[in-house]
Amino acid sequence: MRKRDDRYDLIKSMMRDGKIKSLLDIFKYIPKTVVADDLGKKVDRFNELMNRVDQFTVEELFLMASWCNLSPEEILQLMLVEYRKSKKKITRSKAASRIP
């Protein structure tokens, strides 16, 4: 197994400082390709999961949490923020498509 990426150590303090408020914010500090590789996912599949965060398994979320030194509750909260954002976008696009 390769060495754990040091950038994971940034996430906890960035979250504490309010710079990370949702799951996608993590990828301002650590590349998606690194996390995808660590999860054993192809980048294309990982990008699909990022668009539908509810498709991540609990195990995958908890693995990411452990790498970032976050609690399970913290990673779930970040995921929920992202999930709610995506639901608002879906609701808006459905409403817009009904306008004649």
Q: For the chain, what are the domain ranges?
A: 8-97
Nearest to 50 by CA among 70, 35, 67: 35
- Determine the Cα–Cα distance for residues 85 and 66; give it in Å rounded to an integer: 24
Residue 3 clears pLDDT 90, i.e. is over it: no
Residue-wise pLDDT tens digits, 4-41: 899 999 999 999 999 999 999 999 999 999 999 999 99
What is the C-alpha separation between 75 and 90, in angstroms, rounded?
A: 23
User: What pLDDT digit, counting tens, does each position of 45-89 carry?
Assistant: 999 999 999 999 999 999 999 999 999 999 999 999 999 988 876
Residue 93: what pLDDT? 56
Task: Estimate to the nearest angstrom the gap between the alpha carbon of 36 and the chain centroid.
Answer: 11
At 98, the pLDDT band (50, 70, 90 cuts) reads low
